[in-house]
Structure 1
Amino acid sequence: MSTTEMWVVVQLNGEPLAFPATLIKEVVPWQPLSPVPSHAVGVMGLISLRGETLAVIDVLQMQGNEGIAEPSFMLVLDFPESRVGMAVDKVEGVHYFNIEEMDTNMAGGYVQGTVTREDRLYQLVNSVALEQMMAQFTDVATLANGSY
């Protein structure tokens, strides 16, 4: 029996990255951010979205890479313990991937594996690993609550 799951595919500096659809609360157009008086790696700033203050992250910077040059959208990621915004270049839409086709040879960090479709390599995000990586660099909840 195959396990097909729904994923939201975005681009980070042109590379496709797929998030479990259950992790995405919403996708919003990029908006100006309020600066954060913090040296937290990968935290771009804060945003107030419908009365909720969210820290906005650049996951590429958290990994020590060059950050996103010009984000167009923000994913609102709904983790069990926190909610955070994440800068992305582009939102491609919803794709369905068969988990049994996932190659785990390139897994690492927050990527649980890859799926190749039509000569394109999609990196599938492990939401637990992503949340743990963010926690290593900053307490997102503390930033969002204003107690830095």
Structure 2
Amino acid sequence: MGAIFEDVEIGQEIPRLVKGPITTAHIVRWSAAMENWHRIHFDWHYATQHDGLPDVLVNGSWKQHVMIQLVTDWAGETGWAWKIAFRFRGMNLPGETLTAWGRVTGKEERGRFGVVDLEIGLRNEQGAEGTPGTARVVLPRRGGPPVPYPFDPAVLAG
């Protein structure tokens, strides 16, 4: 199912998404799937000796995927992850366990639907926030229709 607009409260946390511990094998598989052959993701010697990094790095595109999964899992099949934005502010390394989190910061009724604003992020087990961001989610109202797929923002007008 998914979240219902009337059940959402400002300040409410959405269910977290935990990934890890991340291994070098996870990073290499993601790099291969994305055809991202930058050596900082798989060549330890290059990453540490040439670029001066502490280790190979978790891919930014993987972190992006986790953030989107967090929001879409919460929105469910009847909601829509409308907008998402974040910044890569920190490196993540093999061995870390990463937790995607979100908190409701605003909500408004828009016609037959509700729009919910979220603060989101991705933290390692030490609590270091490496990927802060925001999201905007369209949710169905209790007793109302699911958000149409594909989503057209024009449905919010009426």
TM-score normalised to structure 1 length: 0.24
Greater Cα radius of gyration, structure 1 or 2: 2
Normalized per residue, the structure richer in strand is: 1
Normalized per residue, the structure richer in helix is: 2
TM-score normalised to structure 2 length: 0.23
